[in-house]
Amino acid sequence: MKRSLVLRLVLFPLLLCIQSPMRAQDTNWVESTLASMSIEEKVGQLFIADCIATYAHRESESFRLARKWVIKYHVGGFVIAGGTVTDIAVTANALQKISRIPLVFNADLEGGLWFLHPYRWVRGRAPELPRYVRGGGTIFPSAMGIGATGDTTFAYEFGRITARESRAIGIHWTNTPVADVNINPKNPIINTRSFGEDPEQVGGFVAAYVRGLQEGRMIATLKHFPGHGDTEEDTHMKLPVLPFDRNRLERVELIPFRNGIAAGAKAVMTAHIALPAIDPHKRPSTLSRQVITGILRKELNFKGIVITDGMTMQGITDHYSPAEAAVLAIEAGADVILVPADLDAAYNGVLKAVEAGRISPLRLDESVRRILTQKSWVGLHKNRFVEIEHISREVASPASEAIAEAAFNASVTLLRNKGRIIPFSPTKRVHVITITDSPNPSIGDGLMAVLQKEVAAVTLSRFSNETGSETIARATKRMSIADVLVVGVYLSVGSWKGELGFSREIEMFLRNLSRRKQPVVLIAFGDPYVLARVPTTDVQIAAYSGDRTAEEAVARALIGAIEITGKLPVTIPGKYKRGDGLQLSHSQRKGR
């Protein structure tokens, strides 16, 4: 594609400057460290514990807990539960000083370095101050948004920038990319986290993202093995039991994992899903030797780290104790236990299994060696500390933000434009309505920030599933003076949410949109499948993300400031097919 070629030409000199030469891991350090470790230290390496990295005093409860896990349980590392970019770096340095073996810091970076601390200008502050400062790393569209661009260069850049920024603050390992193929529109937990519904297309984006990450010395994790894209249950809440056999997995689910492994992914995360046709014991794949050792290790020839999905999820905790779940995962072939429901019980359960011979010393060393090998690969054996003064040089640079903005622009997918409603003319009076599952006082700010400068008038109403019928009725009256309505529907997947949906009041408001005299622009910010559940309005757009940057990109599309090129990477049942998307050239706006 022309855009892809231009992007590569612009970035190639930059890549030559910033990419460090590939270094092999230090085998001598791995083996000497392994030989020096006690059984207790080896068992501890198998665990990744939760860590709150928000600023806290050294004697605070959160820091004392993290210190205890390092000293008493010798944990291999931590997964970041929250904090600003500088908080994370300071916390990582403090914990690294305590641990004899270098710690690896892990995070879920599905949107980039998303740890933010936004500033919004308020009346009374200096008028010269910026109106908004994100306060964190570079945010990218959801994986499905990247898929909608049709350009794997964006996936590569997503990985490269995420690696560069995350390494700058002390994070070495990300639980991305999602390699699941989202072929079930009712999937309540994968959805926009997937690049799309076509296995080959998903595989291409997965491979590009892995290359970008690992060229920046960031451990990439393919998840959720052997594939979580065709479920209707959230594994945080229950254990899905799927009828798929080996042939089905080969045709659909395994294709992106093969691509990611071929691209060099260093880790794979298991799914808490049961496949009786593969494992007649109906164990979750996380605890299944047939899935991990049989398919992943032997058939796909994966040599890296196998990490479990979070062990606090009900797909595990409803059926197994923390100790037994940890032991079964190691016996199945996993190397790392992510956030056990009870670290003390899980650690001691594995330790007792080693002492009793249930887990052999050779099996334990096998996993610890893999973990140490990856710690060496990211350079922890040479330098485990973050240089705080370098963070502002690496994180959220204008160049990185420009690439992310280009990705957001390219992801906007126009599916309907009856009567050529967009682009808006400068004389239009616009009323924006935002609909969220829970109240959010900043939603719509990105739309407003762009539209206020470009149309005659713009007003805003915020609705959520908690909004009552009287509030909706009052807002509906105010909408009557607008020339056009812009309705943003923000439904995004999340842990322990269950089925995505609307309240009765919101459902009624959406049904009544088709009766409005004004043109209605409806935007799916997040779950694109929502378009199958709402009336067919004059204009329909899929944005795949509800981030402020996504709002700004959509607003630019509405006023004709950008070219619209996105293509739908999934099928919207009864409405649109994969590959649909109207192109709209960047042109002089009406009335100018």
Cα–Cα distance for residue pair 30/381, rounded to 1 Å:
9
What's the pTM value of the predicted model, to 2 decimals?
A: 0.93
Would strands 132-133 and 119-120 be described as parallel, antiparallel, or unpaired? antiparallel
- Secondary structure (3-state) at 141: coil
- CA torsion 197-199-201-205 (nearest 10°) is 100
Cα separation of 21 and 26, whole Å? 15
Domain 412-558, CATH among 2.60.120.10, 3.40.50.2300, 3.40.50.1700, 3.20.20.80: 3.40.50.1700
Determine the Cα–Cα distance for residues 167 and 177; give it in Å rounded to an integer.
Answer: 17
Nearest alpha-carbon partner for 410 in 581, 573, 565: 565
**What is the pLDDT, as a whole number, of residue 122?**
87
Give pLDDT, residue 240: 87
- pLDDT at 20 (0 to 100): 39
Residue whose C-alpha is closest to residue 216's, from 264, 262, 260, 159: 159
pLDDT one digit per residue (tens) for the chain, 592 residues: 445 444 544 444 444 333 333 456 789 999 999 999 999 999 999 999 999 999 889 899 999 999 999 999 999 999 999 899 999 999 999 999 999 999 999 999 999 999 888 888 888 999 898 888 888 999 999 999 999 999 999 999 999 999 999 999 999 999 999 999 999 998 888 999 999 999 999 999 999 999 999 999 999 999 999 999 988 777 777 788 899 999 999 999 999 999 999 999 999 999 999 999 999 999 999 999 999 999 999 999 999 999 999 999 999 999 999 999 999 999 999 999 999 999 999 999 999 999 999 999 999 999 999 999 999 999 999 999 999 999 999 999 999 999 999 999 999 999 999 999 999 999 999 999 999 988 999 999 999 999 999 999 999 999 999 999 999 999 998 898 999 999 999 987 655 455 667 889 999 999 888 888 899 999 999 999 999 989 999 999 999 999 999 999 999 999 999 999 999 999 999 999 999 999 998 765 555 4
Pairwise CA distance, residues 352 & 103, whole Å: 24
499-508: long-range pairs with CB below 8 Å, 24+: 499/186, 499/188, 500/188, 500/191, 500/437, 500/527, 500/530, 502/435, 502/437, 502/465, 503/465, 503/466, 503/467, 505/467, 505/468, 505/469, 505/472, 506/435, 506/463, 506/464, 506/465, 506/467, 506/472, 508/469
Pairwise CA distance, residues 331 & 580, whole Å = 46
HSE toward the beta carbon, residue 484, CA cutoff 13 A: 27
The b/e string for 5-20 (b: 16+ C-beta within 10 A; e otherwise) is eebeeebeeeeeeeee
Mapping DSSP to helix (H, G, I), strand (E, B) and coil, where does residue 521 land?
Answer: strand
Q: Residue type for 182, please?
A: N
Q: Are 174 and 160 in contact (CB under 8 A)?
A: no
- Compute φ and ψ for 83, nearest 5 degrees: 140, 165
CA 31 to chain centre: 34
Q: Is the dihedral of CA 287, 293, 294, 297 positive or negative?
A: positive
What is the spatial order of strands in the sheet that 221-225 belongs to? 221-225, 267-270, 305-307
In this prediction, residue 189 carries a pLDDT of: 87
**Domain spans of the chain?**
20-394, 412-558
Whether 20-394 shares its CATH topology with 412-558 is answered no
68: its two tokens: 């205890």
Q: How far is CA 497 from CA 61, 314, 436, 447, 556, in A?
A: 29, 13, 13, 26, 31
Q: Which residues are catalytic?
A: 236, 309
Q: Which residues lie below 8 Å from residue 506, measured CB to CB, with a gap of 6+?
A: 435, 463, 464, 465, 467, 472
Q: Looking at residue 8, what is its pLDDT?
A: 46
The reported pLDDT for the residue numbered 22 is 40
**pLDDT for res 150:** 98
Q: What is the CATH code of the structural domain delimited by 20-394?
A: 3.20.20.300
Residue 343 CA to chain centroid, in angstroms? 25
> Would you say 304 and 265 are in contact if contact means Cβ atoms under 8 Å apart?
yes
pLDDT of residue 116: 85
* Neighbouring residues of 10: CB distance < 8 A, sequence distance ≥ 6: none
Q: What is the phi-psi region of residue 41: left when phi exceeds 0, alpha when psi lies from -120 to 50, beta otherwise? A: alpha
